Amino acid sequence: MADEFRDKLQELHNSFVVCIEPLKQVDAERHKCLLEKIDQYEKGTESCYQNRLQCEIKNRELQEINRIRSQVVMEVSHELKAPISSAISLIKVVSQGYVEDEERQKDLLNRSIKRLDELLSLVRDMLDLSRTTLYPEELSKEEWDIVLLAQEIAEENRHFADDYVVSLSVDAQAYSMPVFANRAMIRRVIENLVSNGIKYNKPGGKVIIGLEKQDDGVLVSVYDTGQGMTEEEKEKLFELFYRGSKSKRDSREGTGLGLSLVKGIIEAHDTELIVESKPDEGSSFSFILHSPQ
């Protein structure tokens, strides 16, 4: 009797297991589906968060672009206004007969021409800066000798350096170093750095154009023993129309776009401008020009 009862109980248990197994499978599938839905929800939430974050970043970038554009327009207008107003005033003095002496008239006209030349230089720098920044791929490049260019620039600026009692020299590792770059634009870069090195130097100081061979090209450096810069001035160095505190006090000529243009030209050549400077010790500007392939 006990065995028969045990057999019946086992049979009932087996039947229950058979009946419950499909339900367990359905429950597992539902659980799996629920987990998939939760995962999709979490991924969707994360995607929405990332999209919102990207939108916020883009919005801030657009706001910054608009701020910079407004600032540039204001600064450009200010920079253009000064030479134009000065030239007009000088020309009016002559044209309206306020000055009868011919020598005095020539002096005023020459001063107005000088102001207009400054304006032309500013416009040229602005156009070149825009081209190199917006269309770097259109910068034509060819093979040429950087040593010859450095020697040309040094010779052309010799008298200018003498006026400031500054020595100007070229220190090249070899007689010839071919590079692949835009010669006219690199000339603008070196001329600007040499000019600054001379103007903001000390009597008896030095400006050296250094050329050193590297594995991937030629390291070009312009070193001076001039006034140097503070860390704060270095951070602002490439801002549009920025002039250091010493250059403002000295009222030396310049559009204020030179170093912005220098940086734009160097970056258009797929390389980097490295600046090292210490107050009252001098500055060094260096970059690598790639070798011809």
Could you list the residue range(s) of the whole structural domain that residue 265 is in? 142-290
Could you tell me which residues are beta bridge partners of residue 168?
Answer: 207
Describe the crossing of helices 258-268 and 183-199 by its angle, rounded to 10 degrees: 140
- Residue 233: its pLDDT value, please? 82
Query: Same domain for 99 and 174?
Result: no
Based on the fold, state whether residues 130 and 146 are members of the same structural domain.
no
Which stretch, 73-82, 106-115, 162-171, 226-235, has highest mean pLDDT?
A: 162-171
Q: How many whole angstroms separate alpha carbon 204 and alpha carbon 149?
A: 25
- Are 97 and 172 members of one domain? no
Last residue of a domain, one of 134, 159, 180: 134
Asked if 155 and 99 sit in the same domain, the reply is no
Structure tokens at 101: 């002496």
Burial-class residue 64 by CB neighbours within 10 Å (0-12, 13-18, 19+). exposed
Q: CATH number, domain at 210?
A: 3.30.565.10
Are 172 and 153 in the same domain? Answer: yes
Do residues 232 and 105 both lie within one domain?
no
**pLDDT attached to residue 252:** 46
For residues 285 and 274, the answer to whether their CB atoms sit within 8 Å is: yes
| 104 and 150 part of one domain | no
* Residues in CB range of 261: below 8 A, 6 or more apart: 125, 128, 129, 132, 188, 192
pLDDT given for residue 177 in this prediction: 94
Last residue of a domain, one of 134, 158, 190: 134
pLDDT at residue 5, as a whole number: 55
* In the predicted structure, residue 267 carries a pLDDT above the cut 50: yes
Out of 99-113, 202-216, 243-257, which region has the weakest mean confidence (pLDDT)? Answer: 243-257
Co-location of 86 and 124 in the same domain:
yes
Same domain, 116 and 188: no
Tell me if residue 259 falls in helix, strand or coil. Answer: helix
Residues 4 and 97 grouped into a single domain:
yes
| Better pLDDT: 238 or 284 | 284
* Total domains in the fold of the chain: 2
- Which of 134, 167, 191 lies at the terminal end of a domain, its last residue? 134
What CATH number does the domain containing 97 carry? 1.10.287.130
Look at residue 171 in the predicted model and tell me its pLDDT: 94
Give this prediction's pTM. Answer: 0.64
Residues 251-270, mean pLDDT to the nearest whole number: 73
pLDDT in tens, 12-33: 556 555 555 565 565 666 666 6
- Same domain for 188 and 243, yes or no, is yes
The pLDDT assigned to 18 comes to 56
Give the confidence band of 251 by pLDDT, cuts at 50, 70, 90.
very low
Supply angle C-alpha 265, 223, 191, rounded to 5. Answer: 45
Contact predicate 264/129, CB 8 Å:
yes
Q: What is the pLDDT of residue 16?
A: 53
Q: Are 65 and 8 contained in the same domain?
A: yes
